[in-house]
Chain A
């Protein structure tokens, strides 16, 4: 910890001024917010929907919705968290439309413990970056996250890919902190298990 630290309460997030200007009709201020967060919103939407076209539509819709509802943003949370929440809702709605027979919600797939209890206890040696090239590694990572239930994928994306805090993740998803923690644990363990099929130490045998 640095010895001299400015009091946290005096620090106003730079987005606050931009949001205020945008609320008064300053499109350039809103455009700056779009520039800042379009990459993140697209990434969140693509992680949840696993579909590039859907992610493009969702990114557009999420920013339009945010623009239209800007007056409702009270500033109790960060603008980015509020925006992520809109994008998550749009993404889950898109998934629901895609699978008409099955409901997709944050509560789905969380009842069972299956798939979270570690079964693979092999070490990852040498480490994955030493075994696989960027392209191949990317394929493995994409396929592994694709296999997670949407509710787990969403929590993992916000917490571990986007680096939101547990509290911000809870806020963006409308979940309690303990619910986020429990889903995050299962998501991390399921992903670990999936990656382990590729990364586990081989005993001199051929690559699968």
Chain B
């Protein structure tokens, strides 16, 4: 497996949808290629950092205002 083949498998790798043969090849490539090892690790961190952080606030005041506006529209709309 070369670096291009490795990149092509990256989505399936992260989504756990990679078959065993290819998984072994990805792991073997990463052991040999430091660049791809870094890409794998930092892409994994990219995904997890967005999963773990709420980057936009949703304060209670906004939620209540929004909720009231939605229900007002719906009650008047049908």
Interface residues of A (CB under 8 A from B): 27, 30-31, 34-35, 38-39, 42-43, 46-47, 52, 56, 59-60, 63-64, 67-68, 117-118, 121-124, 127-128, 137-138, 141-142, 145, 156, 160-161, 163, 166, 181-182, 184-185, 188-189, 191-192, 195-196, 199
State whether A30 and B74 are in contact (beta carbons under 8 Å apart), knowing that A46-B56, A60-B66, A138-B53 are contacts in the complex: yes
A128 to B47 CA separation, bound complex (whole angstroms): 13
How many pairs of A and B residues are in contact by the CB < 8 Å rule? 113
B7 and A141 contacting across the interface, CB-CB below 8 Å:
no
B46 and A195 contacting across the interface, CB-CB below 8 Å:
yes
B34 and A60 contacting across the interface, CB-CB below 8 Å:
no
A189 and B38 contacting across the interface, CB-CB below 8 Å:
no
For this complex, 29 residue pairs linking A to B, each with C-beta atoms less than 8 Å apart, are: A27-B71, A31-B71, A34-B71, A38-B67, A39-B63, A42-B66, A46-B56, A52-B56, A60-B69, A63-B74, A64-B77, A67-B74, A67-B78, A68-B78, A118-B39, A121-B34, A123-B41, A124-B41, A138-B55, A141-B55, A161-B50, A166-B17, A184-B11, A185-B11, A189-B10, A189-B39, A189-B43, A192-B42, A199-B42
With A27-B71, A182-B11 already in contact, 12 other A-B pairs whose C-beta atoms are closer than 8 Å: A34-B71, A56-B66, A59-B66, A60-B73, A63-B70, A68-B77, A121-B39, A161-B50, A184-B11, A188-B11, A188-B43, A189-B39
Asked whether any CB of chain A lies closer than 8 Å to the CB of B12, the reply is: yes
Asked whether any CB of chain A lies closer than 8 Å to the CB of B61, the reply is: no
Closest Cβ neighbor of A52 among chain B residues: B56
B70's partner among A43, A60, A128, A161 (CB-CB below 8 A) is A60
- Main secondary structure on A side of the interface with B: helix
Residues of A within 8 A of B74 (CB): 27, 30, 34, 63-64, 67
Residues of A within 8 A of B56 (CB): 43, 46-47, 52, 142
A160 and B47 contacting across the interface, CB-CB below 8 Å:
yes
Per-position 1/0 for B41-63, Cβ under 8 A of A: 11101110111011110100011
Asked whether any CB of chain A lies closer than 8 Å to the CB of B75, the reply is: yes
Residues of A within 8 A of B43 (CB): 188-189, 192
Residues of B within 8 A of A166 (CB): 15, 17
A42 to B57 CA separation, bound complex (whole angstroms): 10
